[in-house]
Amino acid sequence: MQVVIKLVNFVKSRDLNCQLFKDLCSTENPEHSTLLLYTAKRWLSHDRTLKRVFILRDEVKDFLHNRKMKMQFFSDKLFIARLALLTDVFEKLNEPSISV
């Protein structure tokens, strides 16, 4: 989860990073064009943030490569599998909260 938070904070912290990521996503994935901001105080943001990062994992990998970041997590298949598992776990945990 810390890797995802660090990534989202890096992209969202500067307007240039946010705009470059949005442009990259709009060309490759027109359905989702940006990452969702993570807030520790809102329980439901875990699920949505993780899901969006997982959906945009290829775009995140390209963005980090273009920005010459030393984050190699998105090239690691084990990390991607753990991210998928964590996304599913938080989605299942949030189902009762959303239905209420």
Residue 82's pLDDT band (boundaries 50, 70, 90)? very high
State how far the Cα of 49 lies from the Cα of 60, in Å rounded to an integer: 13
User: DSSP characters for 47-75?
Assistant: HHHHHHHHHTHHHHHHHHHHTT----GGG
Confidence class for position 40, pLDDT limits 50, 70, 90: low
User: Which range among 1-5, 6-10, 31-35 shows the weakest confidence by mean pLDDT?
Assistant: 31-35
Those residues whose C-beta lies under 8 Å from the C-beta of residue 74, and which sit 6 or more positions away, are: 57, 60, 61, 64, 80
Long-range contacts, stretch 39-44, CB < 8 angstroms, 24+ apart = 43/94, 43/97, 44/94, 44/97, 44/98
At 41-81, the pLDDT tens digits run: 555 667 788 888 888 888 888 888 888 777 788 888 999 99
For 13-28, write each residue's pLDDT tens digit.
788 877 887 887 777 7
